[in-house]
Amino acid sequence: MKAPELPAEDAKAGVKIDHVAKRLALVLVPLGFKRKARQFSRAVGSGDDAHWQIVHLQAGQWNEGPRGEFHVNLVLQWPALLRLLAQREGRGWLADHADKADPGLGPFSERLAHLQSELPATHPCTRPAIPDTYTFGRGSDLAALADDVAQAVVQVGLPWLQQHGSLRALADFQGSLLTADVEVRLAAALLLGDHTRAQQILVERRARFEQSNNTYLASVRGWLVGLGMEVSALPATVTPAQPSAWEHKREAAQRAEETQHAQHAQQIRAQVSAAPAAVPPPAALAEAWLAEHRAAWRNDPAPLADLPSGRDVAALDANGRETVLCALLQHLVVREQQQTTPRDPVQPPVDSFDADESVKLLLVALLPTLPSATESTVLTVLGQMRTLVTRWQQELVTGGYPWGFATLVRWLTGPAGAPHRAAMQPAIAAWLAAYAHFAVAAHDRLTDLVATDEAAAEDPAHPLHELMREAREREAELAAQQALPSAEEVRRRITAYPEQRMSGADKQAVATLRREGRRDAATGHLPVTWDDDDWGQVAAPAWQALPAATRDAMAPVLQGWLEGVETRPSKTWLRTLAAQAAQVAQAGAADVWRAWVLQQLAAFAPSSGRTEWATTGARPGVGARLGEASENLLLGLLWWAWHDTALDAATLDEALHHVSTGAWQRLPDVGARAPTVGGLVLRMRAGLGEAAQQQVAALGAGRGVPKQRQQAVERALKEPLAR
């Protein structure tokens, strides 16, 4: 066999693991193993003892770009054993897979790294200890790595497979239950006809069944009885696991905490009851409500029904409930104002956010009862949110606000805040500025921490050692591809797009605030504008060059698209689109608009390929990456063209081809340029006839096609759009 060619330094992690597998094949195939991707198997033994010896390279879960890791798993799989195990209730599916080598089904398995301790002191292996995981990155010597893997497999892995490759070895195995569970050992003994050994295993491993569950225990008992075993050694029922000393201590601390919050709530309510006012003050109710929830949250109470103060809140009028809302947030505002030093962004004190989740759950319950709000309330809430801009919780890579930020934004930008848009917009702008300032400051603090850690000697025991090592490798990889931006340039990018450090709903909430700040205060409409991305820079001046009458006719349509366009819109939305098209035709602007639409669809394919990164990802709206407004407008134009009956299929397919080319362009370290747009275009093209459908299928065929595009092609062929 010919040695495989080394992959490039910037080749994807999967390609590099495949290379290791190919080099491992040079050693294992001559020994009788057959290779299938990253799995090697050979059949040995006869009769019930016939089995597969399997060596499997398992890729790491977080592999990214050219760096990653993998494990080497060793597996023994007996078809006869699996068929016997399949007789247990609920396990019949095993029989369907018994005759196919599968590392996921092998009942006797071990990780190669765990066998290092089994090497005798005089073992001829001269390589360093087998690592828990084999890691690689840009510049790694893959040939040497593959040789290390092959040597460890031959000198350690194959002897283990040989030593344990018999039903007798399995029946007599005394090691970890993770390597071979009790029922597997029982089945091995029964296949050997050794009921004495099977009975012995049952007695020795009784604890395994005591600590399971009653359903499993009943199924094992029935299975063993059916195989002729005497099962009196099995427990009659499962013994509940006794809590450890640590668990006792934790439960005691939880009870003490709950008692403390309950007592605090009682004190507040007692003070309120003693006051002459007939109605409890909303601020006191808010504090009592929060304390009650923190005392009972493990029981998942309904905030407005199960908690006494919650019922009182529900009984208040709208003004009272708005006061409670502000009081809940003020509780956190006071806490944040008491934070005299910047919070450690990586390891904050354990009690930094102990009340935030309760505040969030109470807000979720309270805000739906406030469909409208006074101007003073929404401005107060926005002011409190500005103070709480620093109450941000770091996660692994990104982070967010644990106190209900996204929930509050949905409320403020919905019907409750709509009447007060003119007053809110300056406050929204102030919040966005404060958030950008905080994001830059947090970046600076984190940069200083990293610099301090890098200056110190590496400490493998440090909890973030691996994370920092990978971050340094990643930075080195990026620097090798292109010059990294300066510190000031990174700070500028974070200032312009600080929400890149956020995750999920919070990032979307910031986008919603930006959109709300752009609305016309009187009409609530968004201005027709594109983002400053490659396509937007072309489409925006083209829009201004249209006749004024055409712009006037189409502006309301585009304003609607800017609110969001779905790739699977409702029938109501599509009927509205058809009505809008009819109005444009009646106004005599259809031909001009149709030509303009085709021009802009064709203009999407060209791209500079440029992206702008700061910390966690490429920023939308800069370079090749579509921004939110540009993407919505492009999706709207696609649907318009799709439903324009004056466009013949050939002309439409040509325009869709241009968009597809641009959408599936691969951007370095980013992936597809616009996969949402690309997926819709493929579904549209798949509905234009057999020729177009074959072209779509070709986009997902062949080697090296990205999985994201393959999946989009499969969906398009399965669910083509009928025009």
Three-state secondary structure of 537-591? HHHHHHHHCCCHHHHHHHHHHHHHHCCCCCCCCCHHHHHHHHHHHHHHHHCCCHH
Q: What is the mean pLDDT of residues 658-685?
A: 95
Confidence at 24, pLDDT banded by 50, 70, 90: very high
Q: What is the pTM of this model?
A: 0.77
Confidence at 295, pLDDT banded by 50, 70, 90: very high
Averaged pLDDT of the chain = 91
Q: Which residue has the higher pLDDT, 468 or 10?
A: 10
Confidence at 567, pLDDT banded by 50, 70, 90: very high
pLDDT-wise least confident of 173-187, 479-493, 666-680, 681-695: 479-493
Is residue 290 exposed (0-12), middle (13-18) or buried (19+ Cβ within 10 Å)? buried
Q: What pLDDT score was predicted for residue 101? A: 94
pLDDT in tens, 371-426: 999 999 999 999 999 999 999 998 878 899 999 999 999 999 999 999 999 999 99
Q: Please list the helix, strand and coil fractions of the chain in percent, rounded to the nearest 5, in that order.
A: 60, 5, 35
Confidence at 121, pLDDT banded by 50, 70, 90: very low
- Do 597 and 634 contact (CB within 8 A), yes or no? no
Confidence at 586, pLDDT banded by 50, 70, 90: confident
Q: What pLDDT score was predicted for residue 128? A: 47
pLDDT in tens, 253-281: 999 999 999 999 999 988 877 766 666 78
- 460 has pLDDT over 80: no
User: Could you tell me what percent of the chain has a pLDDT over 70?
Assistant: 94
Supply the angle between the helices 195-204 and 182-191 in degrees, to the nearest 10.
Answer: 170
Q: Give the Å distances, CA to CA, from 417 to 187, 377, 612.
A: 67, 10, 34
b vs e for 299-331, b when ≥16 Cβ sit within 10 Å of the residue's Cβ? eebebbeebebbebbeebeeebbbbbbbbbbbb
Q: How far is residue 550's CA from residue 544's CA, in Å, rounded to a whole number?
A: 10
Q: What pLDDT score was predicted for residue 220? A: 94
Q: Which two tokens stand for residue 602?
A: 């064709």
Of 544, 506, 310, nearest in space to 389 by CA: 506
Q: Which two tokens stand for residue 179?
A: 């390597």
